[in-house]
A and B are shown apart, each in its own frame.
Chain A
Amino acid sequence: MTAGRNLDTDRFFAHYATMQRIRAFERAAIRAAREGLATGAIHASIGQEAVAAGVCGNLVRSDLLLSNHRGHGHTLAKGADAGAMMRELFGREGGVCGGKGGSMHIADFGVGMLGANGVVGANILIAAGAAHGVHMRRSRSADDRVVVCIFGDGAVNRGPFLEGLNWAAVYRLPVLFVCEDNGFAATTRTEALTAGPGPKARAESLGLVAAEVDGNDIVAVDALARDFIAAARAGEPRFIHAKTWRLEGHTAADKGAYREAAEVEARWADDPVARCEALLEQAGVESRRLAGARDAAVREMEAVFDEARAADWPAVERAFEDVLDTTAARNAAD
């Protein structure tokens, strides 16, 4: 890891605070699932926080983000309100999607977060299309938004990976693809079922400039994301393969029997949050300040947990809203 006194400590303290907030949110979400308060599946991103913070920390509010089923961290890092997100996980009134989406469809269009997706790889095409729409409108107005799409390593074996990357390259769209490789496609090791030299080579074969990065190294992720987002904004689509590791189960209910305790323990030594903390300490940030950020994150997420638990259920009529505008109507002229 690049360390030392030259570190922009304000920048990385902000990333650190984001990572602590994600971790605390995920811990609260797992607790909610285990206590039966979050009734659906919870896919936590513990261990992957540096990707969310480093990538989304380089976006502005109007930029657009598409995420996958493990999307809480990305959504928080894009600026969504943690309280509205937690209420969504609980399926309560005031949830960011009104209780209709839950964890896997978390979205906050107000901060440019156009949705997590329950279908692996589906967000790649939607992201390419959002970038296509932005690109089309550029001829009429100064729209310099960039689109970022974060998907997992499992997505590289789906057709939309090929189609969407080709699409972005052919039309030179303002989009950055980020393969957040946590090592597992659901509960199977991705490497066991993925042929060839990997996601970067696949992206390069389609003409995209691509790079690999240690996804647990916030400094490296931040630097690469900053460069690639600038290029993508200028109409040069880019691809990042960020290697990280999922420290918890596939879902909150998954005890991860398919991996040895020793392996998980070894991976905890590479915890991106701890690495960022050590880096900041080394750069002279007081440990009290670091602990303060961690404690504040934990308190914040405990509070949103309690608020979500206390919130009402959505009114049942909402189940029938937001389906279609079109209604059967007699043709007046007929």
Chain B
Amino acid sequence: MPELTYAEAARIAIAEEMRRDPDVWALGEDLGRGGVFGQYAGLAEEFGPERICDTPISEASIMGASVGAAMVGTRPIVEMRFSDFALCAVDELVNQAAKARYMFGGQARVPMVIREPIGIWRSSAAQHSQSLEAWYTHIPGLVVVAPATPADNKGLLKSAIRCDDPVVYMEHKNLWGLAGEVPEGDERTIPLGAARVERAGTDVTVVSWSRMVQTCARAAATLEEEGISPEVIDLRTLWPWDRERVMESVARTGRLLVVHEAVAVGGFGAEVAATVAEELGAPVRRLGAPRIPIAYAPPLEDQARVTDEMIAAAVREMA
């Protein structure tokens, strides 16, 4: 299996899907030059400027035009550059893309993938660092995906492109350079809505997604040395989320910790924890960022981070 970075895996997924379906195209700022993170490198050379479409800095138009283009049968990949910038296009996503099928009584389909890079990325401050995935899980009509590994970033992105629902696809900016084994082949897709066990364990179920999966795995390795065995589940898709996998795990371990980089208040961890508490009555805890904007200065920025030490400490208290 070849080793690829998270960014390369996504680029290959797009190239494969664009070769197999002429209706797939991508649009966003600076895509012709490979995208701000290089995640579209080389695609304009292969597919041309119509299908790797450079756009003005008009987020509402990038999103809104994609809704119209999807309605007439194309399959746009919408690059928002930062999830923070996608807030300029919330009407187009929430009121239009997510609602069109329903409010027109099933007449419309809006197959689009909205790439919204999330996460803290050193000294990018309050408008380039947010993790806003919970907002979109709240909106009926959207699928929300947050891959944690290079292999998942290929397989899940391919599934998202093939999906007829609008998919908010949130890659973590700090993972672009993460390398890992990625299966080759056009049909190596990963189903949306299926979680993955990052690390099997018996004592505490730790549910996470995106970059925090790596942090949880590091904490779990430390805890194993202390004789505590956490099971780390990477949710991968936040909506619809794999309740069955989580419930099965918590039924065995008897306790749940949810960890995410997003602000803890109103985060998706609250939904997972509440669902587990309602269904199993198991003790639950959440770890997320304090309710502060993300600062610029490294020591201040670090106050918004969830660390492996914090995760390990929480698990120790629960175990």
Does A263 belong to the interface (CB within 8 Å)? no
Q: Which of B267-313 contact A (CB under 8 A)?
A: none
A137 to B75 CA separation, bound complex (whole angstroms): 11
A136:B25 contact, CB within 8 angstroms: yes
Does B33 belong to the interface (CB within 8 Å)? no
Task: Kindly specify which of A3-11, A16-24, A163-171, A197-205 makes contact with the partner chain.
Answer: A163-171
Does B70 belong to the interface (CB within 8 Å)? yes
A133:B73 contact, CB within 8 angstroms: yes
Q: Which of A133, A323, A329 has the most CB of B within 10 A?
A: A133
With A100-B103, A133-B70, A334-B194 already in contact, the answer to whether A323 and B241 are too (CB < 8 A) is no
Task: Kindly specify which of B5-13, B117-125, B169-177, B242-250 makes contact with the partner chain.
Answer: B242-250
User: A171: nearest residue on chain B (CB-CB)?
Assistant: B53
Q: Which residues of A contact B64 (CB under 8 A)?
A: 122, 124-126, 128-129, 160, 163-164
B108:A170 contact, CB within 8 angstroms: no
Instruction: Write out, one digit per residue, whether chain B residues 74-114 have a CB within 8 A of any chain A CB (1) or not (0).
Output: 10000000000000000110011000111111111000000
Does B58 belong to the interface (CB within 8 Å)? yes
A137 to B51 CA separation, bound complex (whole angstroms): 11
Does B68 belong to the interface (CB within 8 Å)? yes
Pick the residue among A126, A166, A322 that contacts B106 (CB under 8 A).
A322
Instruction: Write out, one digit per residue, whether chain A residues 153-165 have a CB within 8 A of any chain B CB (1) or not (0).
Output: 0000001100110
A133:B69 contact, CB within 8 angstroms: yes
With A107-B108, A133-B70, A134-B72 already in contact, the answer to whether A327 and B240 are too (CB < 8 A) is yes
With an 8 Å Cβ cutoff, the count of chain A residues facing the other chain is 56
Q: Which residues of B contact A137 (CB under 8 A)?
A: 23, 72-74
B22:A140 contact, CB within 8 angstroms: yes
Q: Which residues of A contact B223 (CB under 8 A)?
A: none
B190:A331 contact, CB within 8 angstroms: yes
Does B181 belong to the interface (CB within 8 Å)? no
Does A326 belong to the interface (CB within 8 Å)? yes
Does B131 belong to the interface (CB within 8 Å)? no
B99 smallest CB distance to A (angstroms): 8
A133:B60 contact, CB within 8 angstroms: no
With A126-B64, A327-B240, A329-B191 already in contact, the answer to whether A136 and B105 are too (CB < 8 A) is no
Does A131 belong to the interface (CB within 8 Å)? yes
Q: Which of A84-138 contact B (CB under 8 A)?
A: 95-101, 105, 107-110, 114-115, 117-119, 122, 124-134, 136-137
Pick the residue among A100, A117, A122, A324 that contacts B105 (CB under 8 A).
A100
Does B192 belong to the interface (CB within 8 Å)? yes
B141:A129 contact, CB within 8 angstroms: no
Q: Which residues of A contact B165 (CB under 8 A)?
A: 324-326
Does B164 belong to the interface (CB within 8 Å)? yes
B161 smallest CB distance to A (angstroms): 13
With A122-B96, A167-B61 already in contact, the answer to whether A127 and B68 are too (CB < 8 A) is yes
A179 smallest CB distance to B (angstroms): 18
Q: Which residues of A contact B74 (CB under 8 A)?
A: 133, 136-137
User: A127: nearest residue on chain B (CB-CB)?
Assistant: B68
Q: Which residues of B contact A131 (CB under 8 A)?
A: 68
Does B143 belong to the interface (CB within 8 Å)? yes
Q: Which residues of B contact A140 (CB under 8 A)?
A: 22
Q: Which residues of A contact B38 (CB under 8 A)?
A: none
B141:A323 contact, CB within 8 angstroms: yes
B25:A130 contact, CB within 8 angstroms: no
A97:B56 contact, CB within 8 angstroms: no
With A122-B96, A136-B50 already in contact, the answer to whether A130 and B106 are too (CB < 8 A) is no
Does A139 belong to the interface (CB within 8 Å)? yes
With A324-B143, A330-B194 already in contact, the answer to whether A129 and B68 are too (CB < 8 A) is yes
Pick the residue among A108, A322, A325 that contacts B102 (CB under 8 A).
A322
Does B41 belong to the interface (CB within 8 Å)? no
Does B266 belong to the interface (CB within 8 Å)? no
A130 to B58 CA separation, bound complex (whole angstroms): 17
Pick the residue among A97, A125, A327 that contacts B92 (CB under 8 A).
A125
Q: Which residues of B contact A317 (CB under 8 A)?
A: none
B61:A328 contact, CB within 8 angstroms: no
Does B67 belong to the interface (CB within 8 Å)? yes
With A122-B91, A127-B68, A325-B164 already in contact, the answer to whether A105 and B240 are too (CB < 8 A) is no
Does B218 belong to the interface (CB within 8 Å)? no
A101 to B105 CA separation, bound complex (whole angstroms): 7
A119 to B143 CA separation, bound complex (whole angstroms): 23
A15 smallest CB distance to B (angstroms): 27
Q: Which of B106, B195, B241 has the most CB of A within 10 A?
A: B106
Q: Which residues of B contact A95 (CB under 8 A)?
A: 105
With A326-B193, A327-B240 already in contact, the answer to whether A129 and B66 are too (CB < 8 A) is yes
A160:B61 contact, CB within 8 angstroms: yes
A324 to B141 CA separation, bound complex (whole angstroms): 6
Pick the residue among B105, B163, B191, B195 that contacts A325 (CB under 8 A).
B163
Give the A-binding residues of B (Cβ under 8 A).
Answer: 22-23, 25, 50-51, 55-56, 58, 60-61, 63-74, 91-92, 95-96, 100-108, 140-143, 163-165, 167, 190-197, 237, 240-245
- Give 4 nearest A-B pairs by CB, closest first: A125-B64, A129-B68, A129-B65, A98-B105
Give the B-binding residues of A (Cβ under 8 A).
Answer: 64, 66, 95-101, 105, 107-110, 114-115, 117-119, 122, 124-134, 136-137, 139-140, 147, 159-160, 163-164, 166-167, 170, 321-332, 334
Inter-chain pairs besides A129-B70, A134-B72, A331-B194, 10 sampled, C-beta below 8 Å? A95-B105, A122-B96, A126-B96, A129-B66, A129-B67, A130-B68, A164-B65, A323-B141, A324-B240, A327-B240
